Each structure stands twice: as C-alpha cells, then as structure tokens.
Structure 1
Amino acid sequence: MMRQKATVIGFSAILMWALLALMTIGSTPVPPFLLNALCFGIGGTIGLIWIGLGAGFGVLRQIPWKVYAFGTIGLFGYHALYFTAFRIAPFAETGLIAYLWPLFIVLFSGFLPGERLRTMHVIGALVAFAGAGLIVMSRDSASAASIPALGLALAFLCALAWAAYSVLSRRLGHVPTESVVVYCLLTAALSIPTHLALEETQWPQGTLGWLSVAGLGLGPVGAAFFTWDIGMKKGDIQLLGVASYAAPLLSTLALIAAGLAEAKPVLLLAALLVTLGAALAARASLTSKLRHAD
C-alpha cells in the first residue's frame, strides 16, 4: 500500500474520533467500562464479518499470541487509564495531559528504523498542541490546586500508553490489520468483569442512546482502530501524530453544531494553530521525502 494512501486512511480515524464526545454524550448514562464492552463488542463483531467476507479466519491463526497480548493490553490499558484518570480528576487539565499522546508519537517515531524525525515535525507538534490546549483549557476553569495528583499521573501514563501502542504497531507492519478484530473482542471481554466489579449497570436510554452506542461501535470505538492501525503501520507517522490534534478541534465543532457547546473566539486561534502545526509537519515530511529521493 502506498504511504500516502495509508496516511489518508489513518486520518479517517481522526475524523471518526471527532465524533467520540458527541456520541458518548448521547450514550449517557452508560458507565465507561460497560460502554467499552458494548462498543468494542460491536466493532469486533463487524470485524469478524469483514474477515469472513475477505481474508478468511485462517489469517488469525497465523498471528502469534504475543501480538494479540500486545494489542489487547494497548487498547484495554489505554481506556482503563483514561477512564480512571477522569474519575479521579475530571478537569480540563487532565484532558490536556492525556492529549500529549500525539506529541509523544512524533517524538517516539524518531526511534523507528527508516524514519527521519526533523525539527519541524517537533515544532509542528508543539504548535498544534498549543492549539489543542486552548480548546481543552477553555472548557473548564477549575483551579489546578484542586486537582488530585494521581489523576494527572494516570492521564500522563494514558498518553504514554497510546503513543507506545501506536508507534510499536509500526514494528508489527508485517502483521495484518485483521489482528485488531481480536484486540477489540478481547478488550470487550476484559471490560465486562471490570464493569461488574467497579460500576453500577445502566443501559442506554431510548432510541438515541442505543443509536449512539451503535455509532460508537461502528466508528470511533470500532472502525477507527482498524484505519489507525493501517496509518501507523504504512503511513506517515509524524504527520498523523501532528494531525491528531485536529480531533479536539473537530470534536468541539461537532458539539457546537449539535447545540451542546458554545462557540468561543478562542476556537479561531486554536484552529489556526492546529492547522499551522499540521502544515509544518507536512512540509517537513515532504522535504524529507524529496531529500530521500535525491
């Protein structure tokens, strides 16, 4: 698969994640780990149909169990850390720290064989992070002094976990994306006992609630992980890392369009910073490609 095509496919995951907040609100009052089980169960089931109609289930038997363990720890571990962090410290600062993962992806990518991390990649990631920070911090005015340190620490581990999962996926470029189906199903399976141990069962409310859960399972907590896998394994990993900062911007715009958030002037500055950061990263990638061609 061409690098450019894989990058576009990977970016589709970012577009789907932009709908995560909107659909999660629609799924209220379903608790996080039950929502995890439902959504990953839907995504994994759709994936099984995809495999059955395509490569066939024999492809799954060729994948080592260590790969399945890695993927499941990545998906389940990230969500467990994320949900726990926001239970302890449900503030904008927590979200900002958790959203360090695109920057970490850009930085960690420099250790991958065949990848060239340029200064402009890092600058672009920092500029885009500033834009995302404006969006996240404008949502909550809570005093930093009131935020539990444990919540912030878990948010930081959450960012490291997702960045590590994403970058290490590049080292598994020979592993077919069909493996993500098993990651999803095992994550759903692990979420069930976690839910029963920690949460009170509350099902989706009405048609909107169930449609929101179905939408999450089909998109942001389903197909997005398949397209992200392709982007991380075959696409421009630095550009995708920086472009990921478009997710909180697009997410906020979706909430505004649905009447669930207020449009603020800071959004314009945030949009400019995110766009500028992505443009800088794209320029660095193009320069690297041209020099490599020479």
Structure 2
Amino acid sequence: MNKATGIGFTAVLMWALLALFTIGSAPVPPFLLNALCFGIGGTIGIFWTARKGFGVLRAVSWKVYAFGTLALFGYHALYFTAFRLAPSAETGLIAYLWPLFIVLFSGLLPGERLRATHIMGALIAFAGAALIVLARDPGGEANALGLILAFCCALTWAAYSVLSRRLGDVPTESVTVFCLATAALSAVVHFAFEETLWPMGTMGWLSVAALGAGPVGAAFFTWDIGMKKGDIQFLGVASYAAPLLSTLALVAAGLAPATLTLIIAAIMITGGAALAAMASARKGQDIT
C-alpha cells in the first residue's frame, strides 16, 4: 500500500465515526449540521492552505470549484432527501453502492486496469455491508422517488471520486473552497426549509466539532489525496469497512448490540478487501 492509499483510507476510518457523532449532535437538522461541519472543515483547510500560500487557490479554475462544490453539496442533499422520503434499509443499501461504482468506473480511467478479482471483492464486501445495513437501519417505508435519489446519491459520490483522478494536477487545497461553498449553500437551504435547532449541551457541540474536524471535514481532504494518487480500486472496496467500523463504534459506545451478524459481515468485508488488495498487487507486478 503506497502512502497516498494509506492517507485515503484514513477518510474511511473517519467516516466510521459519522453515525456516532451524528447521534451526539442531535437535534440539529441535517442542512444546519452540514453548514456547521463544512464550515469547520473549510476553516481547518484555510489554515492548512496558508502553509503554501493562497496563491495556490487562485490558480485553480472556477470550473473545478463548481465541480467539487456541486459534488459535495449535491451528494449530501440527495442523501438527506432520499432518507426523508424513504427512511428504509433499502435506501441505505442503494446509497452504499458508491464504493462498487468507484471500482467499476475506475476501469474507464487511463492507466488503470480493472480485474475480475476487484469486482468480486467489491461484491463480497457489499454483501457484508448489506448485512449490517439491513440489521441496523430502521425499517421505514421505501418509495420509488427516495430510492431513485439514493441511487443518484451513490452515482454522484462515485463520479466525484473517480473524476478527481483526472484532476490530479489540482492541489488538494482546493477542497477548502469546496467545503466553504458547501457550507454556504447548506446554510441557505437550512434557513429556507428547516427549523433552527442547536446542539444540546457541551457534548452536542463537541460532537459537531468532531464531525467538522473529521468525518465531514478532514476526511474530504485525505480522500482527495487517495483518489488522485492512491490505489483507487483498493480504496473503493476498502470503503465498505466504514459501515462495519461504524457499527463497532456504536457497540463500543453502548448504542448498538454486538451480534453474530457483525462477525459474518466483518469476515465478508475483510475478505472482499483482501481480494482487491491481491488484484492490485498483481496489477503492480504486471506494470514492473
């Protein structure tokens, strides 16, 4: 595993804490939470960018900024809306097709070789994630529009991730602008459609701060590095570790029970990632 792949995988580790911190941030509505978290993430990005100087941001095309902002804001808007219309396990499963789509779409990139083992690993890992989602998500009602939006949500994040590879010359500091613009758009949507509810107590604010510093902040910077310079197929399959690790975090916090399903899912997700790693290793041998 090269350095960029390892950095990219830290995003998966951070996303594993998304559910835990989101529960702690209640009762903040989704788009206000989005605005707060992306605002924190963007602010962290400003300090990080200051190391190189802000001239690096001026050199980036407005089209790149539009692409990144629409992807980050569009993904979350589709995700939240899908679950409001169809709060069901089926919605969660469809939304979590994005790692599989990343693996499949990566085969269209120049210089990338998609093996059958990559696809097999992604499907096995998806099946493991499916076990967790079906066991954990609320059994709300599904409807066609919600499921369609969830599918569009998965396509959006997969397309953003894979197309980031084509923007390899664009500095990761550009994600700072993506985050700040997404925060601004989320604030507009919040004030237009949501009731303002702030976090409850110190733990609530700490949860929001943790979300902005990690899963809805720094994760997008490290993911950008992984997508541009790392092993994109391996990262796609390894992303299915997020729902597993998320559930384990909830178990550790006493918010979810430990079950046999978790053990089976862990074996399937680990096995799928191992297959992808083997295929990537073989790909490297072909190149040398």
Same fold (TM over 0.5): yes
2:32 paired residue number: 34
Shift of 1:147: 1.3
CA deviation map 1:141-182 (0-9, x unaligned): 738xx4111111110000000000000000000000000000
1:5 paired residue number: 3
1:43 paired residue number: 41
Count of matched residue pairs: 288
Shift of 1:107: 0.1
- Structure 1 residue ranges (4+ consecutive) displaced by more than 4 angstroms after TM superposition: none
* Percent of paired sites with the same residue: 75
Q: Secondary structure in 1 aligned to 2:198? A: coil
2:93 paired residue number: 96
Gaps of 5+ in 1: none
1:63 and 2:79 aligned: no
2:122 paired residue number: 125
> How large is the Cα RMSD of the aligned pairs?
0.9
**Paired letter, 1:284:** A
> For 1:135, which of 132, 135, 159 is the aligned residue?
132
1:20 paired residue number: 18
Shift of 1:232: 0.1
> For 2:204, which of 202, 209, 215 is the aligned residue?
209
CA deviation map 1:15-34 (0-9, x unaligned): 00000000000000000000
Contact 2:87 2:139 in 1 (8 A): no
1:79 paired residue number: 76
Contact 2:18 2:215 in 1 (8 A): yes
CA distance in 2, matches of 1:140, 1:257: 18
CA deviation map 1:34-66 (0-9, x unaligned): 0000000000011101111x1110100000000
> For 1:224, which of 215, 219, 224 is the aligned residue?
219
CA distance in 2, matches of 1:81, 1:278: 27
2:189 paired residue number: 194
Shift of 1:140: 4.2
**Paired letter, 1:21:** A
Gaps of 5+ in 2: none
**Paired letter, 2:146:** G
CA distance in 2, matches of 1:99, 1:264: 21
1:180 paired residue number: 175
CA deviation map 1:49-102 (0-9, x unaligned): 1111x1110100000000000000000000000000011111111111100000
How high is the TM-score relative to the length of structure 2?
A: 0.99
